[in-house]
A and B are shown apart, each in its own frame.
Chain A
């Protein structure tokens, strides 16, 4: 039975709001220095993750970037283990060795996230190759920013995927920025139309706060991928609310304007749909508080861990 539109909306809203509130908790905790890991927050970009992941199951694999809090949560990773990971505790999703930038949980198909821009894109291509060779019924997704499409390995990877006819989805979260450099100062091409040159069909979505639309378009793209066995690319425009890395805002630093921010926020359901916020906030607060308590109480990694899991 397909979900009715309002249930869809509620589910997506709740996941998106959970991401937002979780990250706001990080901001609140940050001055205490309990989270000892650089954080690249997804605030403003939650809808992309919730919309995409709503179309995936646990066995579908998603490869992300250092800005992957949203995907970890939307893919179904445990909040408790995530907070413990940010605290550097042994009960973290990755025993405290990953921190914010390398969050992963193989049990829900949240694969590596890497701090080297664009470096997991070919991993998604390889996973799709394995999936095809081994006849696995799974979809592979590569998520990356607009900055990653500057990198050679992005181009090498999409060529490889198209050449080998690998059924997979490339998702570019276009927030128009790589740290402080705007896309127009870096790129001579348009991301989504450029992919067509490699024989990859693409779609551009300008309203990246609209999780329902993102889910619908993703779902249709996945159907097309499954029916013709070829990769596709989604470019989704979005807006980074915080500074590139860290918990602060940086609209006074001269490289971007707060009016664009206000404009985007005026359309953001996580700001404007007060009724849904009121409905979900108590449960979300409790979930987050549980995660914080869990992290607080968890032990530090033991000394042996320093030399464990090297080979």
Chain B
């Protein structure tokens, strides 16, 4: 955020609580002091108007960065995001551009319940005109946000995951790409199965891949899809050509989701690419429960994920591969600090 504000003097940050002492998990802390209250400011609890104000500000020369401390609140802005921002360029025959960045934080962790934990990538990616990313690494946050603020002339929705703010990350995992907003990344190479993952599921998948490699010599290729709206399809197809097996691990529900979408174009491309059934992994098809015992069942965890991968790779549900004894992701992230 700081770098964008330094490099792009038209950038402004507007959102509920961006200037408070917590500063959106620290990501906007101290920026009002540094850049002044014309450029970094708190807004009324008026999500629709605030989004519209961002659109208007963008149309008249600013680069607005907007935040929602829980992605769920952006549902109040759907009219502006879907009916207006996504259509401004097309509906007016290309005479307007609405470059802006909307950051949504997925609030998942213990007890967040049904309205503080949703992951809206498939909803937003459905609409032509929007660019939707789910960064899972500081490298892609930096490259994507700088590209968005300096070069990209369209609205971008970035879905950040709360559990990742406190983690440490290894450098150099991510390749440099010319347009990070339309990119996907191979983050682990392998031969036995292609696993396409979103957001925190990239980290989970890497942990499962590490476990399966050590305990059973299974070699997973892990792809961080990163751009849900504009994934690098060829990169994913090429990986499947090599491994011939496909799993998609997403942070949201499976119906009409990222997994369904990846399967759609794999099937449309060539239905003979896979030699095993594809597998989609996501949350249970229910609103998120608050009770921890239920929440632990609701989300995939290292145990279920490793089991799913082993099933697909071996083609056998009695694969006999030892599974990690870890059934609650929330517990892990409370103490786990990486690096990955």
Contacts and interface: CB of A to CB of B under 8 A. Distances in A.
A310 to B, nearest CB: 5
A123 B94 contact: no
Interface stretch (A20-28, A126-134, A186-194, A248-256): A126-134
Interface residues on B, range: 35 or more
Contact of B94 (A119, A128, A153, A308): A308
A124 interface: yes
A122 B93 contact: no
| Chain A binding surface SS class | mixed
A73 interface: no
B131 A127 contact: no
A127 B57 contact: yes
Interface in A272-311: 308-311
Interface stretch (B36-44, B234-242, B279-287, B315-323): B36-44
A209 to B, nearest CB: 31
B62 A129 contact: yes
A134 B52 contact: no
A94 B49 contact: no
Contact of B84 (A61, A116, A128, A160): A116
B52 A98 contact: no
A112 B88 contact: yes
A224 to B, nearest CB: 22
Contacts of A160: 43-44, 46, 49-50, 53
A159 interface: yes
Interface stretch (A4-12, A37-45, A101-109, A229-237): A101-109
A130 B91 contact: no
Given A102-B91, A133-B39, A160-B44, A127 B49 contact: no
Given A97-B92, A134-B61, A156-B46, A123 B10 contact: no
Contacts, number: 148
A61 B49 contact: no
A102 B50 CA distance: 22
A166 B48 CA distance: 18
A94 B80 contact: no
B93 A93 contact: yes
B213 interface: no
Contact of B55 (A126, A128, A136): A126
Nearest to B39: A133
A122 B91 contact: no
Given A125-B49, A126-B52, A160-B44, A92 B60 contact: no
Given A61-B60, A114-B83, A311-B131, A94 B48 contact: no
A111 interface: yes
A125 B131 contact: no
Interface residues of A, number: 46
A247 interface: no
B12 interface: yes
B31 to A, nearest CB: 15
Nearest to B131: A311
B129 A119 contact: no
A94 B92 CA distance: 5
Contact of A134 (B10, B84, B128): B10
Contact of B92 (A112, A130, A152, A159): A112
Contacts of A106: 95-96
B237 to A, nearest CB: 22
B62 A156 contact: no
B93 A123 contact: no
Contact of B57 (A114, A126, A159): A126
Contacts of A124: 56
A121 interface: yes
A95 B53 contact: no
A125 B52 contact: yes
A92 B83 CA distance: 22
A35 B51 CA distance: 33
Given A119-B83, A156-B44, A159-B46, A127 B59 contact: yes
Contacts of A119: 52, 79-80, 83-84
27 contacts: A93-B93, A94-B93, A94-B95, A95-B94, A97-B91, A97-B92, A97-B93, A98-B91, A112-B59, A114-B84, A116-B79, A119-B79, A122-B49, A122-B52, A122-B80, A123-B52, A123-B55, A125-B56, A127-B59, A130-B57, A133-B12, A136-B61, A156-B50, A160-B46, A309-B90, A310-B128, A311-B131
Given A112-B59, A157-B46, 20 more contacts: A95-B94, A98-B93, A106-B95, A111-B59, A122-B48, A122-B51, A122-B53, A123-B84, A126-B57, A126-B58, A134-B61, A134-B62, A156-B46, A159-B44, A160-B46, A160-B49, A308-B94, A309-B93, A311-B129, A311-B131
Interface of A: 61, 63, 92-98, 102, 104-106, 111-112, 114, 116, 119-134, 136, 140, 152-153, 156-157, 159-160, 163, 308-311
